[in-house]
Amino acid sequence: MFRYQSIASRVVSQVLVVLALLVVIVPLGLVLKESLAGAGWRNYTEVLTGTPFLRFFLNSLIISASTVAVVTTVAMAAAYGLVMLRAPFGRTSQVAVIAGLALPAVALTVPLFVTIQRLGLFDSPLAVIVPLCALSVPFGLLVGRNFLAGIPGEIHEAARLDGAGTVTIFVRVVAPLARPIIAVIVIFTFLAAWNEYFLPLLLLQDSSAQVITQVPTYFQSERQVDLPKVFAANVLISLPIIAVYLVLQRQIRAGFVAGAIK
Amino acid sequence: MPVTETRREHETAAPARARPAGRARTTWPRHRARAAALLWVLPAVILVAGVVHVGIAYNAAVGTTEWNGISPTRLPVGFDNYVAMARDDVFLAALRNTAVYGVAIIVLQLSLGLGLAVLVRTQTRGRHLLRVLVFVPVVLSPAIIATSARHVLDHDGALNAALDAIGLGSLAQPWLANPTTALATLVAITVWQYTGYSFVIYDAAIAQVDEATLEAAQIDGAGNARMFTAVILPSLRGSHLVLIVLTAINALKTFDLVILTTGGGPGMSTEMLTLHVYEQTIVRFHAGYGAALSMVLVIIALVFAVLQVRLSHVREA
Amino acid sequence: MKVARTGQRRLLVPAIALALLASACGGGSEDGSATDAPDGAVHLTWWGWNVAAVEDVVEAFEAEHPGITVEFRPYGYDDYVQALRPALTSSDGPDVFQLQPGGMVANYEPLAADLAPLLEADLGAGWRDQFHEEGLTQLAVDDKQAAMPSIMSAAGLIYYNQSLLDEAGVEVPTTFDEWEKACAAIVATGAQCLAHGAKDAWVNIDLFLSIINSDEPGLVYEAIAGETAWDAPEFVTAATEFARLFDGGIVAEGAASRAEYPDAFNAFISGEAAFIALGTWNTAGTMTNTGLAASAEGISGEPAGPFFSAPFPAAQAGKEPTALFGGPDNGWAVSAQSEHPDEAFALLTFLTHGEGQQIQAGLANIPAATDVDVSTDDVVVPEQAANIEQQQAAVGDLIGARQIPYPDLEAALGQALSSIVADPDSAAEAMAQVEQVSAGLER
């Protein structure tokens, strides 16, 4: 896009890019600097060796991957049902799902605890996965629905006239078309699940079942905070999410491949 | 004008226009098809209802009682908790602050996010790096952002030192500790952190614009500005609506950053709705009132949700 | 109760659907019942947000009680208070848990076992004499002993950095006038004077209590009890004196966005600030080698010092500085839901009048059991030993509590002090707001 720019507009956009880079990089640099304060890179090695980092990393990975799989499937299916199959109660269910997003976490603590307990899920990874899914599905549904609404209906119609069933259309036609938005849903669901701090603490009793967001707490107590190591821990925690983004943003940019279908 | 023509075609090409094949058939199978469509939506609805709406029902019930959150008995008080809000100065301040904060971050995050999504499509150096780095703040934990902000924006922090160095020392001040600048400073921190969020959504939406349409426009001699206003912008309406709703909800739920930087102060200058819910429910043992406050958040979000759904259906119809 | 029942029924349908969905999601649920270890030993869960040397404590307890294993779950305070509520009302909660004196004791008391009969059976009819009286009363509701004190702590002190005072050529101030002069000299050397995290309501309340307890000793406790008005002249004066700390050059500008921990505390430990207004809980982290080394983890570099404590200066010339105010730093309670009440009580015994007290005293925390002396073996400089012993003696003679037992009143005072920090001229108006809340309180 914008392959042909005048010199003036090129200069302006270059200045803006540099400016934006500075605004982002300088504070990030300060975060990195703080994470290296005192013991330098040893802050990082101590985070890795002085805590159950690997164990928590794997726990987080299991929880986040399951959440992403469920949310992406469930949300895209719902978006498909609402947009292309014109499911009844579409507006109502959409409004209900979105409004629920605003319930503050504090207000959810007690009912969630009771629900999870009654389901007999307490202390199993599902105790965390199920609510995480429920909290991320609305986002997925919202952006997924919006994206599918932009896909020409003829594509769906053509596949239908070819005699394909709804499942086949969803898997073979819609999902490939929706790759950019699926990538977006995966990224943000992974982000939410990976950064979740309180739910595992509330719903998993076993301390070895805890997740990676607990790592920084090894360096802070009520009255003492080892800031450089807390920062180092948080930098390490962020890396996997950035990696996921790096891998998937190619998909986001893949763009609309309508031509490829025909 | 071919440009406008393509645009109209694009706009009308929304899914509902997939003429129901059943029109020719009897109505019965069509009903069945729609009922079958419900099955696609059901898992999402069950999941959200089972967790979130159970929580809302619980809060609606608790919100009509006086209860410390612990005792086995709750005193039914009807709508007294809601009536009491009108006289609750902290609630009113929180409502006002949350509204100001919400409007500010919606405007700024959307315009900057869109700006960046366009900027990374220009022929500039560093655009690939920008695309990656703009997302990095989004993934950082609020604890890190808040701690850094407290240091950088402190009276003798890095920002004031920088202002001093470039001769703007008169602007220097304790940004988060000054009641007149605290809320604006929180807006700035939030926008810095979460512009990457709207960037990613816009990025995906712009990528959806048909390459062929753009090429056609270019061949027709449409300039970049014209291409942006005539082709790209119209295709983003749905994304604006989605982002307005999501950002508004994020504003309603803002908690960690505020509690870790200002704690709602100085005075009540950065008091927010979720802070008030937390304080009433947990710190002051008014679980009933806290639940009623939570319902206010849900109701505000409901308004946004209805608007979003209505407007996006208007667009598609 | 009608409310609760409707809630249950509403849960049922979505709950079943969710269960189906959940099992469809895959991933087996492991059996998580950790209550009984396989070898028949009793397993206790112990929750808290603040206990020093917890590994040593658990190790010593398990050595003393071979049939019991203990898992301590550390929480941040905010997470703790949120997680405790649902957990304690269910069977998945801790056996032993931590309580803060004040509103937390008043509200959680029904979920805690009454310890008085157990203590009487254990220690005899005179059991109360073995503890600091304030340590017991602030953790009791009427006759029920809901929790037992872990350690004692009291505020009404300033800690100071002797080197910075020497460098500025000033003595430890005893009045606000002296303090302002000392601060001017200290700031002239490039250091900050009083490190203070005014973002946190509790430190502002500590300062206010330090001032009013010097101005009019004991009057504030009448106001807490509702017998004196919060907007009486004495209180407005004290609030104005509180404001003076901020606009008289004692607290550095911008305090309202600083946290006491770690911002203010780190500034003090690293030698950037000369004073900090904290209480005896600060002694271990400033005056002992072990504690100071731990405190220094948070700063990049060597800790400053040596540090000493002194009474919080009197706001008014001619008045005595405040006596210490405080009580139990926090307490241990046994859950009424505990499946192992005997073993849980054994842990509580160990913590509050057994070897657990020796461990705390060894760290220079002030024991709650009166027959245990605080240790001064690990002090950084020998002069600190006398300072620590003075603190222990003063804790035996407190003027009153640190916490206000009514959360609404405590919040109102915190809010008022925060608005005074924002606008020092609003003292009278702010105290009138506090009185409004106080007058409407059911005590």
Q: What is the DSSP string of B52-72?
A: IIHHHHHHHHHTTEE--SSSS
Please state the pTM of the whole predicted model: 0.89
| pLDDT reported for residue B11 | 34
State whether the Cα torsion A42-A60-C71-C66 is positive or negative: negative
Q: Where are the alpha helices (DSSP H) in chain A?
A: 7-35, 42-49, 53-83, 90-99, 105-118, 126-149, 153-161, 166-168, 175-177, 179-195, 198-203, 227-253, 258-261
Both tokens assigned to A95: 């409004």
B198 interaction partners in chain A (CB closer than 8 Å): none
| pLDDT reported for residue C3 | 33
- Model confidence at A1, in pLDDT bands (50, 70, 90)? low
- Model confidence at C92, in pLDDT bands (50, 70, 90)? confident
**Backbone phi, psi, residue B20, to 5°:** -50, 120
In this structure, of A138-152, B284-298, C429-443, the range with the lowest mean pLDDT score is: A138-152
Please tell me the CATH code under which domain C157-323+406-439 is placed. Answer: 3.40.190.10
| Topology agreement, domain C42-151+328-395 and domain C157-323+406-439 | yes
Element (H, E) at C415: helix C407-422
Please tell me the CATH code under which domain C42-151+328-395 is placed. Answer: 3.40.190.10
Cα gap C138→C141, rounded to integer Å: 8
Say whether pLDDT at A33 is over 50.
yes
In this structure, of A101-105, A227-231, C168-172, the range with the lowest mean pLDDT score is: A101-105
| B269 touching C (Cβ < 8 Å) | yes
Cα gap A213→A198, rounded to integer Å: 9
Query: In whole angstroms, how far apart are CA C354 and each of B212, C61, C347?
Result: 80, 9, 9
CB contact under 8 A, A14 and B125: yes
Distance from CA of C79 to the nearest CA of A (A): 7
**How many C-beta neighbours within 10 Å does residue A23 have?**
14
CB contact under 8 A, C421 and B265: yes
Using a pLDDT cut of 90, give the percent of chain B over it: 64
Cα gap C81→C47, rounded to integer Å: 11
Residue ranges of domains in chain C: 42-151+328-395, 157-323+406-439
**Backbone phi, psi, residue C158, to 5°:** -115, 145
- Model confidence at B45, in pLDDT bands (50, 70, 90)? very high
Average pLDDT, chain C: 89
Say whether pLDDT at A86 is over 90.
no
B10, B132, B207: residue with CB nearest A252 = B207
Compute, in degrees rounded to 10, the torsion defined by CA atoms A25, A32, B137, B153: -80
Both tokens assigned to A23: 């605004």
Say whether pLDDT at B1 is over 60.
no
Give burial (CB, 10 Å; 0-12/13-18/19+) of C128.
middle
Q: Which residues contact B190 (CB under 8 A, 6 or more apart)?
A: B101, B105, B109, B254, B257
Inter-residue contact C402 to C413 (CB < 8 Å): no
For B46-66, the pLDDT digits (tens) are 999 999 999 999 999 999 999
Considering only CA atoms, which of A176, A158, B241, B267 is closest in space to residue C433? B267
Element (H, E) at C192: strand C192-195
Q: How close are the terminal C-alpha atoms of chain A, in Å? A: 23
Q: Work out the angle between the directed axes of helices B89-119 and B237-253 (0-180°, nearest 10).
A: 140
Say whether pLDDT at C308 is over 90.
yes
Cα gap B240→B8, rounded to integer Å: 19
CB contact under 8 A, C15 and B50: yes
- Model confidence at C206, in pLDDT bands (50, 70, 90)? very high
Say whether pLDDT at B113 is over 90.
yes
Say whether pLDDT at C31 is over 50.
no
Give residue C443's identity as a one-letter amino acid code.
Answer: R
Give the bridge partners for B258, in sequence order: none
A2, A134, A191: residue with CB nearest B123 = A2
C282 interaction partners in chain A (CB closer than 8 Å): 223
| pLDDT reported for residue B143 | 86
CB contact under 8 A, A109 and C82: yes
Say whether pLDDT at A224 is over 90.
no
Inter-residue contact C329 to C278 (CB < 8 Å): no
Q: Where are the alpha helices (DSSP H) in chain B?
A: 2-12, 27-48, 54-62, 80-85, 89-119, 127-133, 136-139, 142-152, 158-165, 182-208, 211-219, 224-227, 233-235, 237-253, 256-261, 273-278, 287-316
Provide the phi-psi class of C403: left if phi over 0, else alpha when psi is between -120 and 50, else beta.
Answer: beta
| pLDDT reported for residue A88 | 85
B44, B294, B313: residue with CB nearest A97 = B44
Element (H, E) at C309: strand C307-311
Chain C residue with Cα closest to A129: C22
**Backbone phi, psi, residue C308, to 5°:** -135, 170
SS3 A180: helix
For C361-417, the pLDDT digits (tens) are 999 999 999 999 999 999 999 999 999 999 999 999 999 999 999 999 999 999 999
When scoring A6, A11, A17, A28 by the number of chain B Cβ atoms within 10 A, the one with the most, hence best to mutate, is A17
| pLDDT reported for residue A261 | 39
Estimate to the nearest angstrom the gap between the alpha carbon of C319 and the chain centroid: 27
Cα gap B121→B203, rounded to integer Å: 9
Inter-residue contact A256 to B208 (CB < 8 Å): yes
Considering only CA atoms, which of A219, B178, B58, B161 is closest in space to residue C294? A219
For B209-246, the pLDDT digits (tens) are 777 777 777 777 777 888 888 888 888 988 999 999 99
Strand order in the sheet with C68-74: C68-74, C42-48, C96-99, C325-334, C148-155, C366-367
Q: What is the b/e burial string over A189-224, where b = at least 16 CB atoms within 10 angstroms of the residue's CB?
A: bbbbbbbbbbbbbbbbbeeebbbbbbbbbbbbbbbb
| A53 touching C (Cβ < 8 Å) | no
- Model confidence at C23, in pLDDT bands (50, 70, 90)? very low
Do β-strands C307-311 and C157-161 pair in parallel, antiparallel, or remain unpaired?
Answer: antiparallel
